[in-house]
Every structure is written in structure tokens, then in C-alpha cells.
Amino acid sequence: MQPRLTNQVVIITGASSGIGAAAAAAFVAADARVVLAARSAAQLSALGEQLGGLDRVLVAPTDVTKPEDCERLARVTAQQFGRIDVLVNNAGVGHWTFFEELTELEIRRIVETNVLGVMNAAHAVLPWMRLQGRGVIINVASTVGHMGFPMMSVYCATKFAVRGFSQALRSELAPTGIAVVCLCPGHTDTEFFAHAVMREHRWRHGLQRAASPAKVARRLVALAVKPKPEVVLGVEGRLLAWSCRHFPRLTAWLAERFFKA
């Protein structure tokens, strides 16, 4: 049975495409009120109309790297719907290239979006959730937050950071009724590489089968209803996390072999 979040208010960052857009559709289907946040106003507006209009969906163009944008996002959400029940911290940018080929500006963009963006959004919603005495913050990390992977050095570093931040924040908020979840999807069939920082390197498919964004979105809804500390999606993802924990040298060797293949 589809979990229900009737009249719960859900903010989704990175909502204009991929997992974020799929999550928006899944939360609307679960009867939630959804706030779409991303930099692209045009894409958000089109998605908002597709999902049912202003009575259930609020479009809020937001650059998560700017604290003032995130504060405005939380404020307009509370003004429109009266509360903030769930934050899905999904905005992110990746790369598939050697670390030494990245420019300082590219490194900064990845870190500011993937790490500071998560922190900015969480910082903005927490005062509202504390007033309510409840809430759920879901930080979307990655299976590569369990292991450093070639060609994704900075992206991996940011996802390790998201996992560590989630663990620490969860402990801080344990007495408050606010849950912190870390979701680690694997390779997902999205526009990730279309928006990633790339050079003349071909993405090697095959380490993980691509999951559908809708499947990830359904898990996000389930975690909003019944939070868990950390969830790694997919058999391959769980195997990778287990292998990194118990056989780090073997796992690193296999990653290097995959990279060189």
C-alpha cells in the first residue's frame, strides 16, 4: 500500500529533474503538499503545473549555495502552508574526470552545492521544525559516500561529508523529535552526467545497474513516513558498502580494475 502523507508539507531541493522531479510526483501522489526548489524557474513552473497547480505545489526558485535563498525558501513555505514537515536535501552536481583536470571553480561549485547546500537548507528549516516539535530531514548521499571511486574524487568527498553530517546532526537532534535520514542511492537513470563536469572521458556503465528515479522516489516517501538512520539502495550498493567496511583493500583493487578496464 502506498504510504500517505496527507497535508504534510515537503520541501524538495534539486526538484527540477531526475530524482527530485520523481520525488515531487511521488509525494504529491502520497497527498502531501510539495515545495519545488531548484535554480531553474522555468523547469520548476512546468513541473508544478504538471503536478496539479498552486493548491498543492509551491514553486520556489532557490540556489542552495546561498544561505539567504534557503532562508527565504523556508519562510515562504511556512507562510504558504503553515509548517514544514519534511526536507528532502537532493540538490547536487557531479563529475566524471580526473581530479587534476578540475578547475578551482568547478571544485568549489561541486562542494558548495553538495555539502554547503545540504547544510544551508537544513539550517533554514530547523527553527520551524523545532517550533513544531517534529520533522524529517532526508539527506541524499550516494553509495560512493562509502568508498572513494576513481574519476569522482570530489563528488565522493562531498557524499562522505553528507553521511558524516547526517550522523552528527542526527545525534544532536535526537531529543527533539526531528529525524535525520541519509539515503544512499547507486547509479540512477537520470540526467546526472548531462549536468556533471565532464572532460573527454567515457562513463563506464556496468558496476551498478541503473535504478529508476521513481523507485528511489518511492523510498523517499517511505522514509518520510517511517524514518531510518541510513539506507543504501540496491543489492549492488549494499554489497559495495559491506565490502568497503569488511574488505577495504579488495574493494579498492576491484574499483581500480573496473577503472582500467
At 147 the pLDDT is 83
Cβ count within 10 A of residue 207: 16
Range of the domain at 59: 9-260
Is residue 4 in a domain? no
Catalytic residues: 155
Q: Per residue in 27-69, pLDDT tens?
A: 999 999 999 999 999 999 999 988 976 678 999 999 999 999 9
- Which has the higher per-residue pLDDT, 239 or 22? 22
Alpha carbon of residue 45 to chain centroid: 20
Q: Is the pLDDT of residue 81 over 60?
A: yes
Is residue 96 in a domain? yes
Average pLDDT of span 172-183: 97
Is residue 99 in a domain? yes
At 179 the pLDDT is 98
The fraction of the chain above a pLDDT of 70, given in percent, is: 81
Average pLDDT of span 171-200: 76
Q: Is the pLDDT of residue 185 over 60?
A: yes
Is residue 3 in a domain? no
At 261 the pLDDT is 45
Is residue 81 in a domain? yes
Is residue 2 in a domain? no
At 2 the pLDDT is 64
Position 213 confidence tier, pLDDT thresholds 50, 70, 90: confident
At 249 the pLDDT is 77
Is residue 115 in a domain? yes
Q: Is the pLDDT of residue 208 over 70?
A: no
Q: Is the pLDDT of residue 230 over 70?
A: yes
Average pLDDT of span 111-135: 97
* Total number of domains in the chain: 1
Considering the entire predicted model, what is its pTM?
Answer: 0.88
At 151 the pLDDT is 84
Is residue 65 in a domain? yes
Q: How far apart are the C-alpha atoms of 214 and 111, rounded to whole Å?
A: 26
CATH of the domain at 249: 3.40.50.720
